[in-house]
Amino acid sequence: MGKTFYWYPKCSTCRNAKKWLDQHEVAYNEVHIVENPPPQSQLEEMLAKSGLEIKKFFNSSGQKYRELGMKDKLKTASKNELLALLASDGMLIKRPLMTDGEKVTVGFKEDEYEQAWL
């Protein structure tokens, strides 16, 4: 499986990550995260492989996050319910999200990208 880069073109962090990938000649498939959010089963797999808590997959600074009162829901909802919410709306997912089927990065930090994708 190649690398898949889930991004939102209007997101400056996503654009910075894309620019970094292109500068380092990293090959990837680009997916618009709002138009094509990853399905719940794939999110569950990415969550397991990332080693991160599920709350790290949420775009906590997003408008949708606040509208849905996600801060409180994160405390009470089951993992399944949270994964279903993420899969239902790409705006809830912290971006960019990148995976090669084994490794997963959430958000963009140059040092993490260097370790994972070079």
pLDDT on residue 8: 97
Sheet holding 29-32, edge to edge: 29-32, 4-7, 97-99, 104-106
For range 8-33, the mean pLDDT:
97
Domains of the chain (ranges plus CATH)? 4-117 (3.40.30.10)
Over the stretch 27-80, which tens digit does the pLDDT of each residue have?
999 999 999 999 999 999 999 999 999 999 999 999 999 999 999 999 999 999
Q: What pTM does this model have? A: 0.95
List Cβ neighbours of 33 (8 Å cut-off, separation of 6 or more).
6, 7, 8, 90, 93, 95, 96, 97
The mean predicted confidence, pLDDT, of the chain is 96
pLDDT surpassing 90 at residue 1: no
Cis amide linkage into residue 96, ω under 30° from 0:
yes
